[in-house]
Structure 1
Amino acid sequence: MTVALILATYAVLAAVLLPRALRRARWADRAPRLAISLWLAACASALASAALAGLTAVVPADAIGHGLARLFEVCAALLSGGSEIPVASAGFRLALLASGLIAGRAGFCVAAVLYRARRERRRHAEGLDLLGRHDGELGAVVVDYDEPLVYCLPGRRSKAVITTAALRSLPPEHVAAVLAHERAHLRGRHHLVLALAEGLARAFPRLPLFAAARDEVTRLIELRADDVAAGHHPRVHIAAALVRLATGRTPAFALGAGGENALTRVQRMLNPAAPLGRREKLAGVTAVALLVAGPAALAAIPGVSSLIAHHCHTLSL
């Protein structure tokens, strides 16, 4: 019961207070990929803690201590409401239902976001087939449009898209730099990460953690694509292209180089901060590992303790 209470308390505190702590991390812009992992790990940690809290409270620890056969026997009795543990069976069903609802709602909302985005991208791709033309030299689809836009369309038929207005307003080296940004999105499958963050935010709209994770992941993914592009093109070229594309209105289901954070990203490109050191990276990776594995490890403590005690007792006999 103590472990269950700790898990439940942590789930509530994480959902409410953890966003404040994570937003104070000044190193996030220096290592956007690690920061994205940290935000998603925090979401997973809160969900796992909430799902495991109820199960930990009603499953007897000594069931694990006597091996898997005994554990299955106890779980079957809890589900069937057997006479061996009649009081716990109702609680077990309720806990199992609550855990299923948490996981089910999260999975359903993420799947719904993925399905809707895929449908819209398919429609847009069909329009590009009719109105656009593939430029083999650029490796992108060119569309006649009077607004400077550069974006990518993820999925099976992934492609980078650039408008004629963007080609007129950007010199060739800037075009190459911004297209590298879009290809970084495609290679990194960033649309899946965004769908996960958006789905969790829709599944639990009143919990600050998930809304904050969606906003931060959206921002950090653009920084990550900027960094990948900067590995092959001068930063000043990326910055100049972002200035030109800052006011562009990218389709909601696509990933674009412009956007509301473009000017902040320009400053970051022109004044790059030092990358994280080994100790800082190790601390970040350790935090991700603790967030992901912590709830399961904590929930397993009573069972592992009972298992050790049971086998030690058996050996002593």
Structure 2
Amino acid sequence: MTPLLLGAIGLALALPIPALLARTSWPLLVPRAGIVLWQSFALAAILAISGAALSTALWLVTADRLTWWRVALHLVILGVGVLVWIRFWWTAWTVWRETQARRRRQRHLVDLLGTADGVAPSLRILQEQTPIAYCVPNMSSPRIVVSQGTISSLAPADFDAVLEHERAHMRSRHDLVLEAFTVLHRAFPWFMRTDAPLVQSQVMVELLADDAARRAHGATPVARALVTLAGSPTPAGALGVGSAASIRMARLKNPDPRNPLASIAAYSISVLVLVAPTVFLAAPWMIHAWHTLIT
């Protein structure tokens, strides 16, 4: 029974529950806690399906009576668990390799086509009149890329807010957050997953960067810059200013966006989702199965 329950929990956390959560807006009120919440669902789904596979293997060894349909059902559960883990590690490798390759190419292009700023070593200015602003994260050689159109369209305070927004992305390594969501998203086959965690995580890292820019320069410069850069293009693998403008503007209008109750709820649900299936379901059954196996 435990493999079936763990498998059902894993499938529920991979698809229907995230799809329902995506219809609510409260995680966006607390982007840092919201990111933890979304990651906990994805990680708990993988752990639950892995636990189902492991408990299935133990059940096949320790069961007294084996009927063909029970064996077939448990083999399906075992196969899904093995598939998810293989996809997880393969995806982790391919996402890392693809992202690094994209960013190397992007850094090479902006270094070739852009003009270095004498004050900020990481800043590159493109001779392009379309307003553009994004960063190319990297541990040792990050780049902040802006166009001449951005500089000419923004007041100095607004431009400083844009630079702080991009520096916040690089300081907090929001690129690693998004890579982790991409890996967790791709680890499941397409029919077992929803795009909601990946999409909302992209919005929430922008909200966090906006909060950093607001603390440094105030909400008004950030809002003006966001209006100017709304919809500006961002290369794959980079983090840009112009996405999810309507949600971000709504948050900037709030003089105090902190929401302790929503934060507590998000963190509490995260802990519950990660701990409860293991403590109350998987661990006792596996201990019992192990004692049965060795006696």
TM-score range, shorter chain: 0.7 to 0.9
Note closer, same or farther for the CA distance 1:266–1:283 as it changes in structure 2 (3 Å cut): closer
- Equivalent residue in structure 2 for 1:300, among 278, 283, 294: 283
| Residue pair 2:134, 2:145 contacting (<8 A) in 1 also | yes
* Equivalent in the alignment of 1:151: 134
Instruction: Please name the residue that 1:67 is paired with.
Output: none
TM-score by length of 2: 0.85
How big is the shift at 1:86? 12
Identify the residue that residue 119 of structure 2 maps to in structure 1.
Answer: 137
Give distance in 2, aligned partners of 1:209 and 1:99: 14
SS of structure 2 residue aligned to 1:39: helix
Per the alignment, in what secondary structure is the counterpart of residue 155 of structure 1?
coil
- Quickly say closer, same or farther: Cα 1:224–1:209, change in 2 above 3 A: farther
d(CA) in 1 for partners of 2:253 and 2:192? 33
Answer yes or no: is 1:35 the counterpart of 2:34: yes
Q: CA deviation at 1:207?
A: 4.2
Give the equivalent residue in structure 2 for 1:105: 87
Structure 2 Cα separation of the partners of residues 36 and 93 of structure 1: 34
Structure 1 contact 246–263 (Cα < 8 Å) conserved? no
Task: Work out which of the two has the higher radius of gyration on C-alpha atoms and give 1 or 2.
Answer: 1
Conserved? CA contact 2:162–2:213, under 8 Å: yes
2:235 to 226, 230, 251: 251
Report the AA paired with residue 284 of structure 1. Answer: A
Secondary structure at the counterpart of residue 135 of structure 2: strand
Q: C-alpha separation between the residues in 2 aligned to 1:301 and 1:136?
A: 62
Name the SS of the counterpart of 1:275 in structure 2. Answer: coil
Unaligned runs of 5+ in 1: 61-74, 79-83, 310-317
Partners of 1:138 and 1:176 in 2: how far apart?
12
SS in 2 for 1:161: strand
What are the Cα deviations for residues 13-53 of structure 1, in whole angstroms up to 9, with x where unaligned? Answer: 22232124322444322210110111111011111111111
Paired letter, 2:131? P
- Asked if the contact 2:134–2:146 (Cα under 8 Å) also holds between the matched residues in 1, the reply is yes
Instruction: Identify the range of structure 1 (191-200 vs 19-28) with the bigger mean alpha-carbon deviation.
Output: 19-28
Q: Deviations over 1:208-254 (max 9, x none)?
A: 64411111111111111111221211111000001111131111221
2-structure distance, mates of 1:230, 1:209: 35
TM-score for the superposition, normalised by structure 1 = 0.79
216 and 307 in structure 1: CA distance in 2 versus 1, 3 angstrom threshold:
same
Q: What's 1:164 paired with? A: 148
Asked if 1 retains the 8 angstrom alpha-carbon contact of 2:226 and 2:245, the reply is: yes
Q: How many residues align?
A: 284
Cα distance between partner residues in 2 of 1:138 and 1:233: 18
Alignment pair present for 1:275 and 2:255: no
Name the counterpart of 1:12.
11
Q: Which residue of 2 aligns with 1:51?
A: 50
Find the aligned partners of 1:207 and 1:241 in 2 and give their Cα distance: 39
Distance 1:50 1:129 in 2: 45
| 1:134 shift after superposition | 2.4
The separation in 2 between residues aligned to 1:209 and 1:38, in whole angstroms, is 16
Q: Is the 8 A contact 2:10 2:49 kept in 1?
A: yes
| Change over 3 Å in CA distance of 1:272–1:215 after alignment to 2 | farther
Q: Percent identity, please.
A: 31
Which of 149, 168, 190 aligns to 1:206? It is 190
Measured at CA, do residues 248 and 301 of structure 1 come closer, stay the same or move farther in structure 2, by a change above 3 Å?
A: same
